[in-house]
Amino acid sequence: MAAQRIGLRLSIGLSLLAAASSAVAYDGTKCKEPGACWEPKPGYPARVAGSKYDPKHDPKEVAKQELAHKAMDERNEKRWKHFQETGVWKYDVK
């Protein structure tokens, strides 16, 4: 009898827990401010830095795209200037 009751109580407890966690699970509707409605999922960190999910991005790698844009823009500008000055388009800027 006692064991059965404990089992029953346990299963009620678990189902309440499941209901509670789905009620707080990230559904996109609870916003900190307009346009910012992200929440961590139950059991997941609000910040990944320092957690086991830290992406540990290398700042040098992350900066490379910006450098690529700058270099392309400079070469394109040279091409355009050469075109303005000579009326001839030259792709090779070397």
* Residues making contact with another protein (CB under 8 A): 22, 25-29, 31, 33-38, 40-41, 44-49, 53, 55-59, 61-66, 68-69, 71-73, 75-77, 79-80, 83-84, 89, 91
Q: Measuring CA to CA, which residue among 45, 46, 42 is closest to residue 17? A: 42
Which residue has 């700042």 as its token pair? 59
Q: How many CB atoms lie within 10 A of CB 28?
A: 8
Closer to another protein by Cβ: residue 47 or 94: 47
Closer to another protein by Cβ: residue 9 or 64: 64
